[in-house]
């Protein structure tokens, strides 16, 4: 049995990991009132001693780059989500967001690891001390490229893994569709 180092920095994806949309047919929230925390998130995060561990969010917000919302609005939604999940305002610098459109070849969009690296640097956590929790393959790939630990959201939060084809929270991102609800990604 390997003894793992304690986690010093927990980083979470947003959509499909901490929050889900409440607007039917829309994969992601574009404004306040269009989202809720996924049940159980708050309770699970309460189990973590945030005096000892850092908190971060790393979210692709391609809807900014494609014009569905402003950068400020997207950031505010993530901030409010983090505050709801933690029960208090998230630490300064804890929200990392890629506002660029898909396929814009920016340096930060997951699966690129830049957002994770920024958080690790800011919160002085090594690769082995950092855990990224996400719901998509691009999250797992970003963790792999950053060299950090990874858990699927359903593992971390103890959800039943959804069956194939079952409706589930979609990412606020749309490799094959758009933010109006035509997303075809998982
Ligand atoms: Mg997601
Ligand atoms: Zn970007």
Whether residue 183 lies inside any domain: the answer is no
Query: What is the pLDDT, as a whole number, of residue 161?
Result: 72
Q: What's the CA-to-centroid distance between 115 and ligand 1, angstroms?
A: 14
pLDDT given for residue 26 in this prediction:
87
| Residues near ligand 1 ion, CB 5 Å cutoff | 13, 15-16, 135, 171
Ligand 2 centre from 97 Cα, in Å?
7
> Does some domain include residue 182?
no
Per the domain annotation, does 31 fall within a domain?
Answer: yes
Domain extent at residue 102: 9-157
Distance 97 CA to ligand 1 centre (A): 12
Is 185 inside a domain boundary?
no
Can you give the pLDDT at residue 81? 98
Ligand 2 centre and the CA of 163: distance in Å? 31
Q: In the sheet that 9-12 helps form, which strands lie side by side, from edge to edge?
A: 95-98, 54-60, 9-12, 130-134, 149-152
Q: What is the pLDDT of residue 162?
A: 62
Task: Identify which of 38, 73, 6 has the alpha carbon closest to the alpha carbon of residue 170.
Answer: 38
Query: In the prediction, which pLDDT does 2 show?
Result: 56
Please tell me the distance between residue 6's alpha carbon and the centre of ligand 1 in angstroms: 25
Angle at 51 between CA 47 and CA 54, to 5 degrees: 85
| Per-residue 3-state assignment (H helix, E strand, C coil) for 4-18 | CCCCCEEEECCECCC
Residue 181 pLDDT: 40
User: Which residues, 6+ apart, have CB-to-CB distance to 27 below 8 Å?
Assistant: 15, 21, 170, 171, 172, 173, 174, 177, 179, 181, 183
In this structure, is residue 38 part of a structural domain? yes
| Cα–Cα distance for residue pair 29/27, rounded to 1 Å | 7
Q: Which ligand is nearest to the CA of 109?
A: 2
Residue 178 near residue 171, CB atoms below 8 Å: no
Q: Would you say residue 97 lies in a domain?
A: yes
Find the CATH number of the domain harbouring 44. 3.40.50.1000
Distance from C-alpha of 88 to C-alpha of 82, rounded to nearest angstrom: 8
Q: What are the tokens at 45?
A: 């995060």
With respect to residue 163, please indicate whether it lies within any of the assigned structural domains: no
CB of 68 within 8 A of CB of 179?
A: yes
pLDDT at 3: 63
Under 8 Å CB-to-CB from 83, ≥6 apart: which residues? 89, 90
Per-residue pLDDT 10s for the chain (186 aa) are: 556 779 999 999 999 999 999 999 888 899 999 999 999 999 999 999 999 999 999 999 999 999 999 999 999 999 999 999 999 999 999 999 999 999 999 999 999 999 999 999 999 999 999 999 999 999 999 999 999 999 999 999 999 876 554 445 455 665 444 444 433 333
- Those residues whose C-beta lies under 8 Å from the C-beta of residue 130, and which sit 6 or more positions away, are 7, 8, 9, 11, 116, 119, 120, 146, 148, 149
Structural domain count of the chain: 1
In a domain, 144, yes or no: yes
26 CA → ligand 2 middle, Å: 22
């Amino acid at each position: 049995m390997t003894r793992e180092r304690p986690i010093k920095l927990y980083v979470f994806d947003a959509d499909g990991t901490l929050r889900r949309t409440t607007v039917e047919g829309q994969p992601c929230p574009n404004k306040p009132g269009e989202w809720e925390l996924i049940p159980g998130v708050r309770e699970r995060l309460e189990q973590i001693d945030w005096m000892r561990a850092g908190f971060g969010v790393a979210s692709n917000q391609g809807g900014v780059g494609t014009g569905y919302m402003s950068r400020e609005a997207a950031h505010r939604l993530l901030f409010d989500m983090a505050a709801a999940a933690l029960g208090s305002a998230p630490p300064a610098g804890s929200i990392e967001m890629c506002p660029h459109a898909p396929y814009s070849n920016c340096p930060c969009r997951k699966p690129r690891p830049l957002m994770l690296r920024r958080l690790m640097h800011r919160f002085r956590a090594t690769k082995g001390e950092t855990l990224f929790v996400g719901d998509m393959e691009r999250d797992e790939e970003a963790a792999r490229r950053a060299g950090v630990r990874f858990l699927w959201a359903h593992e971390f939060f103890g959800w039943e893994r959804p069956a194939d084809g079952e409706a589930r929270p979609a990412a606020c991102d749309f490799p094959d569709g758009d933010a109006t609800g035509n997303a075809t990604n998982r």
